[in-house]
Chains A and B, each alone.
Chain A
């Protein structure tokens, strides 16, 4: 299995998804060799990962300057820091280098199926197939169209994706939303694509909250509306802010918290000032662990206004923490979570209306919370792993016939 990151050193949902899926796969009795770029400058040999069956997992780290959500400019910066090394001159060179190094693993390992997550590892997956002749599955968590949020994607990345999709034996999409994207934007036959929805590890969010943060605000009758995610165009933080401004016109007793970091951060901070709501919008920075759990629990509503969201695990984390959610219709998670408020990301009025309704009517939040919690039990990684396993078996059957 080729990935890019695993918690706790993850920047986003991909690492969470890889960990969740891998845990459940090993518990099904499948041995997993996980190959990923070594994350610099962290010494990742100290990684502590709890797996269902640790003996079934082997981690290979490749010395490469790659991390998820990286773009060409960020790579140049990293490259300058590590100027003495053997790293590629630009991001795409480095991806190519990783592909070759990653592919080499295939020479020394015994395995049946190659499973590669997202474009950075597609090259390595193809290389591994070339070397081993084993079937290749590409698992798509996000395409370049999602990252660019409707703008024209990076042509070079698009080409890497398209070539890989065409060559792959099977493709896994994290949602029907993403499957449609692969069919419509990359011209891939729908028969080649299976949908495997992500899951969530409920137990991680069921602990007790430690902090009495914001307790005073809540005592004073304030409500808290939360955004968690990278502050990038894809996640729609600007729509969140505009909805917040609209809400505050009708109800001043609401605070909005933005937890995350990203290339739009400064723009969003400025925008909240120019909208005249900076006293009601709090920036929590990138949060994880207990901090994130506390945020989820304290919030009266979690909002995910993503412009293009292949899946979106965070709303499920919010539900697992006992918080009702409002999610973008342009998301994969809305296919599996029916007990949620839903709005088009661009429909500021609808988002604001729904936030105001939750704020004004406790019964709405209570009902959402109750039903979503029971719905969540059916959205788990075991189900996802079982679907992957079915696919592995199907592919191996085909390959034997050949």
Chain B
């Protein structure tokens, strides 16, 4: 009976270029690196489009056409969609074709892939609205299940989502919260009445997302029949298997040479061989299944690192100081009435900026180094804080102008 819910998180940030103190007051284009490094957003995006988005979208469309039972879901951050619209309308079109099949759900999130919920509720709500508008405009649909940045979750977020009409919300199915309970059921959110929590089965998800191409893994090579067996084994003690992962898993984190595309190509038919299995979208899951218990997360839970908390984004003094500073500008930025300033300020809230400043290099060190376009977390911080200084200067100039016009 397990319903497989495959949901792909899709996001790329606007990385801050190497920005020196000498650029402050001289240059307010923060994201236009054009070097050969991975700070060049266009270069990185084009690489990912070629290696991941376009081939995987084509494959998914093929699978949707071939198997009427197949379903898949996405979340697409606003900052990614913006970059795609200007760099690759073709990729936008391919996502539209997927959504057009009626069997691809798009989830709701905040436009800037930010940590705004934990810093400013009004700002967070605006970002969610911006995202909803963007999704409606591009795909003609309105999200009914909410997912927050990096699967971050806490009781008050679930309450917010319920009050704002969402039927479901995603979270990491972490043992620390679940205890003996299984992630393969829906749960009630603490203090909520209706909203249902969909929990990521991190073992089965990470088998694909992290371990698929790892030759030192004892299960390598992971074949489709072997994986299908693991899913089948949930029969009788679970209702939904939530496979949540970054979309870039396909072709970017796991390169084509690992066989990841062939794996995906054959996965639906293999799973469907078992008549008890089916595919489902998050909204369908909330309609189809009842909750079995309460999911209570008083602190913040995420899908990252062994700690499953926000420490990859807020674990050191540089990160907290950068976050505090950017959110301290909120009132002034709003009052400035400067559209470009507001947009820059929001792009600087994207969580990736803080992730690049992470200094946890122990067990998760490899993952962090792989995703860091800067030579070190210290370099990331230096550029970011210089940009912040420039932004402060722009805010002062706006105020000066206002004061002068008053006189």
Chain A residues in contact with chain B, CB under 8 A? Answer: 250, 338-342, 349-350, 352-354, 356-357, 360-364, 366-368, 370-371
Contacts of B20 in A (CB 8 A): 349-350, 353
Which of B137-145, B221-229, B378-386 binds A?
Answer: B378-386
Given contacts A339-B359, A363-B321, A367-B318, contact A357 B376 (CB under 8 A): no
Q: Are B22 and A357 in contact (CB under 8 A)?
A: no
A364–B22 touching, CB < 8 Å: no
Residues of A within 8 A of B389 (CB): 360
Q: Cβ of A361 and Cβ of B385 under 8 Å apart?
A: yes
- Asked if B22 contacts A349 (CB within 8 A), the reply is yes
Q: How far, in angstroms, from A349 to B322 measured CA to CA in the complex?
A: 23
Contact yes or no, B382 A364, CB < 8 A: yes
Residues of A within 8 A of B375 (CB): 342
In the complex, the 7 A-B pairs of residues with the closest C-beta atoms, listed nearest first: A363-B321, A363-B317, A357-B382, A353-B20, A366-B317, A356-B21, A367-B318
- Contact status B382-A363, CB under 8 Å: no
Least Cβ distance of A184 to chain B in Å? Answer: 24
Taking a contact as CB atoms under 8 Å apart, the answer to whether A361 and B381 are in contact is yes
Let me know if A364 and B376 touch, CB within 8 A: no
Q: Which of B316, B317, B361, B385 has the most CB of A within 10 A?
A: B317
CA distance A307 to B386 in the complex (A): 27
17 pairs, A vs B, C-beta closer than 8 Å: A250-B21, A340-B378, A341-B376, A353-B382, A354-B378, A360-B385, A360-B389, A363-B317, A363-B320, A363-B322, A364-B318, A364-B378, A364-B382, A366-B317, A367-B316, A367-B381, A370-B316
How many angstroms from the CA of A341 to the CA of B361 in the assembled complex?
A: 16
In the complex, residue of chain A having the shortest beta-carbon distance to the beta carbon of B324: A363
> At the interface, is chain B mostly helix, strand, loop or mixed?
helix
B386 to chain A, nearest CB (A): 7
Kindly provide the distance from the CB of A323 to the nearest chain B CB, expressed in whole angstroms. 15
Interfacial chain B residues near A367, Cβ < 8 Å = 316-318, 359, 377-378, 381
Contact present for B376 and A342 (CB under 8 Å): yes
Residue of A nearest to B321 (CB): A363
Given the complex of chains A and B, what is the CA–CA distance between A239 and B389 in angstroms? 26
Compute how far the CA of A370 lies from the CA of B319 in the bound complex, rounded to whole angstroms. Answer: 14
**Which residues in B have their C-beta under 8 angstroms from that of A356?**
21
Tell me, in angstroms, the Cα distance from A326 to B289 when the chains sit together. 58
Closest residue of B by beta carbon distance from A366: B317
Interface centre among B22, B382, B385 (most CB of A within 10 A): B382
The answer, among B316, B322, B361, for a CB contact under 8 Å with A338, is B361
Closest to B381 in A: A364
Told that A361-B381, A364-B318 touch, could you supply 17 new A-B pairs with CB distance under 8 A? A250-B21, A338-B376, A342-B376, A349-B20, A352-B21, A353-B382, A353-B386, A356-B21, A361-B318, A361-B385, A362-B317, A363-B317, A363-B381, A364-B385, A367-B377, A371-B316, A371-B359
Alpha-carbon gap, A364 to B376, bound state (A)? 12
Residue of A whose beta carbon sits closest to that of B360: A371
- The interface residues of chain B lying within 8 Å CB-to-CB of A339 are 359, 378
Q: How far is the CB of A342 from chain B (nearest CB, A)?
A: 7
B193 to chain A, nearest CB (A): 42
Q: A357, B359: Cβ atoms under 8 Å?
A: no
Q: Which residues of A contact B376 (CB under 8 A)?
A: 338, 341-342
How near does chain A come to B186, taking the closest CB pair, in angstroms? 41
Complex Cα distance A353/B381, Å? 12
Q: Nearest CB to that of B365 among chain A residues?
A: A338
Say whether B22 contacts A341, CB under 8 Å. no
Q: CB-nearest residue of chain B relative to A246?
A: B22
Verify A357–B318 contact, CB threshold 8 A.
Answer: no
- Is A357 a contact partner of B361 (Cβ separation < 8 A)? no
Chain B, Cβ-Cβ closest to A340 = B378
